[in-house]
Amino acid sequence: MDYSPLQKARFTYKPKLPPVLQGSLLKLTVKEGQKTAAQAQGEQISTLFPATYGAPLIETVEGTSEKPSSPISIGVVLSGGQAPGGHNVICGLFDAVKKFHSESKLIGFLGGPSGILENKTLELTDTIVDRYRNTGGFDIIGSGRTKLENEEQFDICADVCRLHDISSIVIIGGDDSNTNAAVLAEYFKQKETGISVIGVPKTIDGDLKNKYIEVSFGFDTATKTYSELIGNIERDANSAKKYWHFIKLMGRSASHICLECALQTHPNIALISEEIEEKKQTLNEIVDSIVSIIMKRSELGENFGIVLVPEGLIEFIPEMKILIDEINTLLAEHVDHFKTLNTFEEQARWINKNLSKDSSYVFSSLPDNIQRQLLMDRDPHGNVQVSRIETEKLLIEMASSRIAEKKNEGRFKGVFSPQHHFFGYEGRCAFPSNFDADYCYSLGYNAFVLIAKGLTGYISTIRNTAQSTDHWTAGGTPATMMMNMEKRKGKMKPVIRKALVDLNGKPFLTFKEKREQWAIKSDYFYPGAIQYFGPAEVCDVPTQTVLLESTV
Ligand code: FBP
């Protein structure tokens, strides 16, 4: 295999660990902090997690040196969408495992959680791991979206672990995967299997966070990658002065990516789904607000601009949310009948007939392509796959017809020439920024410390990330403290609560204060490409979201 010069240079990068993790591994111990409680419905959650609920917060600290014990075997699995830095979590874990005892083993489960169920494994060695240090992607062992959620699966997991003599599993995943990791940890503890489970917070979406978990890994690199591209488009728009660019940005539900990219690039418009939901804005109102900015800029002779659209928008617009919920339910309840409908026309007719009056009206008013996308295959949770809905094109279509009306009425004299883009997959496997390389390596290394100290049901945690790594600390957050009860597939389930954009938080308030100025002026900000080598103020700065949240 041949490697690019940058990749070769990155292989030699030594990720920075928090001071506490830099010394002898045998000296590390954990200090218990306050006992924890769930975010809401604590009583129900404590009944569902009798063995692991209420565990204390944990801080990794230096203690007295212990004798090296016998070798251990640990399993690791990557779960869900790719996020930059996943390989470094594995590298950090691997280095700690080997440092602890050279005969200890790290066994990767291939292709995500299904690798555990199907007993597909790969023992990781120096030769393998060294080819993936500081690289993007999850290809070292692959990932998948199979959910581990029932007892039959948990028993298979235990059997497969016993087969390989694995005493701990590290699950690297988002909110759903970490929820499942917590359920598995509880089951293993109740059944006294002796197998522990530790989670690692992953997702470019940035929605797996709380007071203790400051950021999920991958968010830093992904938002910097998109911001570079947005900045480049802004400069192109400002040079040619002829296009309005509508850019949809990934993020299944929350708008953290869109907000962070707005803070990094100062676009004319950035829609924040959480605000739209709070204001109960309709699709027409959103389009009106976009058109009004297009008209104002046009009056100043600026027939160009940048609109950022969060991927999850459609599900936050109240009338669309109701429509999508109704379609999800219809498709789930009539799955066999729906399969017999061969053409889109037949499907649309059947859906329209079965929707409520209001939703049928909303559905019929949508362009054909959007109707088709709303009826496409569901994800494993039975939800519509928002990344496949072309919201940016929907907004362009609606804005274009609104502007055509204004033109006919003589109220718009400019030109509206739109372009559309979707940035998602472009950022998920980028070379991890120094931040993600350091953060992920530390998360993986620290996950081993939690395992070595016999903990289970915890998420590896690195804190003080707004500051340089010299100030980072390490510890563990009990997964149950991040939970509340939510409806899943018609039943109330304990799940880790997704962190949406906080409309009273510093990142949103900073954006809100600036957005009117950014709307009219071409006040663009060009972050440029991620830099890996050079001064710390260029290479090691965290996201605006992390910096602003740390000042609260
Ligand atoms: P995770 O929550 O698993 O990290 O995945 C996030 C994400 O990248 C979303 O932003 C996006 O909507 C989704 O995955 C796309 O999924 P897929 O890779 O299956 O197309």
Place of tokens 């590896």: 460
- Which one of 223, 381, 387, 390 would you pick to mutate in the ligand 1 pocket, going by the greatest count of ligand atoms within 8 A of its CB? 387
CB 352 within 8 A of CB 312: no
Ligand 1 atom 4: the closest Cα is on which residue?
203
Ligand 1 midpoint to CA 474 (Å): 27
Q: Residue 372 half-sphere exposure, CB side, CA atoms within 13 Å?
A: 9
**Cα–Cα distance for residue pair 24/321, rounded to 1 Å:** 53
Burial 227-245 (b: 16+ CB within 10 A, else e): bbbbbebbeebeeeeebbb
Decide if pLDDT at 92 tops 90.
yes
Phi, psi of 466, deg, nearest 5:
-75, -20
Question: Do 117 and 146 touch, CB atoms closer than 8 A?
Answer: yes
Closest Cα to atom 10 of ligand 1:
251
- Residue 461 contacts residue 209 (beta carbons within 8 Å): no
Least confident of 38-47, 104-113, 212-221, 445-454: 38-47
pLDDT of residue 331: 87
Q: How far is the CA of 177 from the centre of ligand 1 (A)?
A: 12
Domains annotated for the chain, with CATH where assigned, are 17-218+432-488 (3.40.50.450), 221-427+505-550 (3.40.50.460)
- Nearest atom in ligand 1 to the alpha carbon of residue 386 is 12
Question: How far apart are the CA of 203 and the centre of ligand 1, in A?
Answer: 8
Separation between Cα atoms, residue 384 and residue 501, nearest integer Å: 21
Confidence of residue 548 (pLDDT cuts 50, 70, 90): very high
Give pLDDT, residue 381: 67
- Residues in contact with ligand 1 by the CB-under-6-Å rule are 80-81, 83, 174, 203-205, 250-252, 311, 386-387, 428
Residue 342 CA to residue 16 CA, distance in Å, equals: 56
Of 25, 157, 41, the C-alpha closest to 96 is 25
Q: For helices 434-452 and 219-240, what crossing angle results, to 10°?
A: 170
Task: Tell how far the Cα of 252 is from the centroid of ligand 1, in angstroms.
Answer: 6
Q: Is 471's pLDDT higher than 90?
A: yes
Digit-coded pLDDT (tens) for 171-210: 999 999 999 999 999 999 999 999 999 999 999 999 999 9
Q: For all residues of the chain together, what is the average pLDDT?
A: 94
**Is the pLDDT higher at 399 or at 342?**
399
Closest CA to 137 of 77, 200, 88: 88
Q: According to the model, what pLDDT value does residue 149 have?
A: 85
Both tokens of 434, joined, read 């120094």
Q: Is residue 66 scored above 90 in pLDDT?
A: no
Q: Could you tell me the pLDDT band of residue 490, with boundaries at 50, 70 and 90?
A: low
pLDDT band at 389 (very low <50, low <70, confident <90, very high): confident
- Please choose from 82, 179, 203 the residue to mutate so as to test ligand 1's pocket, defined by most ligand atoms within 8 A of CB: 203
Whether the model pTM is above 0.75: yes
Catalytic residue, candidates 95, 175, 205, 438: 205
The confidence band for 94, taking pLDDT boundaries of 50, 70 and 90, is: very high
Task: Give the Å distance between the CA of 80 and the centre of ligand 1.
Answer: 7
pLDDT of residue 2: 92
The string of pLDDT tens digits covering residues 6-63 is 999 999 999 999 999 998 898 999 999 999 999 889 899 999 999 999 999 999 999 8
| Active-site residue, 205 included | yes
